Amino acid sequence: MIDLLTKFFSDENNRTALLLSLISGLSTGLGGLFIALFGSPSKRVTGFMLAFASGVMIYVSVFDLIPESHEKIGTSALVTSLLIGAGIMHIIVQFIPEPDPTLIQGSDIDPQLLVTSLVVVTGISLHNFPEGMAVYLSTLNGWKLGVTIAIAIGLHNFPEGLAVAAPIYAATKSRWSAIKWSLVSGLCEPAGALAFGLFFRQYIDEFGVCCMLGGVSAVMLYICFKELIPSALKFCSITIVILAHCIGGIILYFCSQLLEEFE
């Protein structure tokens, strides 16, 4: 095991991927910090944040991951990877309890919230593990794409941190517990990157990496259309959701252009 870790950290790409996954994972902790400092956000703000995160993830999938994969593996392999990625995510969702975004609004002390909060922590933690793999795989294809994916997932993780911390804070009134458990769930992201890099990278060539990136794009789109957009529409109007999507896409476009200047 020590030899595996030594080999892993001797590779600059591995170190970069792990750092990026750690940064994106810590965004979940920021959601917990927000709850600890300011309490639960308003419905409109919550809806805007969820839609903004969705806009960012859709942009990354449609304009970065899918074109990059298509260029290297072709249409047939890309479509296959998209279907497999969406199918796997659909199966996972059936076994993982989806956190209820309305819990963000909970403020009354209720013993049942303590049980609910543990379910939410478990679901978000399991959800973050493959996201760490996504950041790792993206970084293998170039640091710019890795940074872009890390930004997209980090923005998506902030509302998830709210979903983790709000019921815990409502149940315990402990700011430390809210921050601690949101951080724990976020750290599952670099754990996923580390596990994938240690045990699976040696068996995957460039073609396999691009196929998996196609699958990652399908996973991200699935999350957007299955979870983020419906949740956002519960909290705010469709106009605000569309506006937040546009703002998210535009901001990430300029971030991508800025990254190209440093590549």
pLDDT at position 107:
46
pLDDT at position 114:
57
Angle, helices 111-140/12-38, rounded to nearest 10 degrees? 150
Angle, helices 206-223/111-140, rounded to nearest 10 degrees? 150
pLDDT of residue 98 exceeding 60: no
DSSP state of 226: I
pLDDT at position 40:
66
Distance of alpha carbon 204 from alpha carbon 238, whole angstroms: 42
pLDDT of residue 29 exceeding 80: yes
pLDDT at position 100:
52
21 contacts 150 by C-beta, under 8 angstroms: yes
pLDDT of residue 109 exceeding 70: no
pLDDT at position 248:
81
pLDDT at position 72:
84
Which residue has tokens 């060539």? Answer: 205
Distance of alpha carbon 173 from alpha carbon 166, whole angstroms: 10
Distance of alpha carbon 110 from alpha carbon 103, whole angstroms: 12
pLDDT of residue 165 exceeding 50: yes
pLDDT at position 167:
64
pLDDT of residue 237 exceeding 80: yes
Residue 244: exposure state from Cβ atoms within 10 A (0-12, 13-18, ≥19): buried
Query: Could you tell me where the beta strands, DSSP code E, fall in the chain?
Result: none
pLDDT at position 138:
79
Residues for the chain: how many in total? 263
pTM score, two decimals? Answer: 0.64
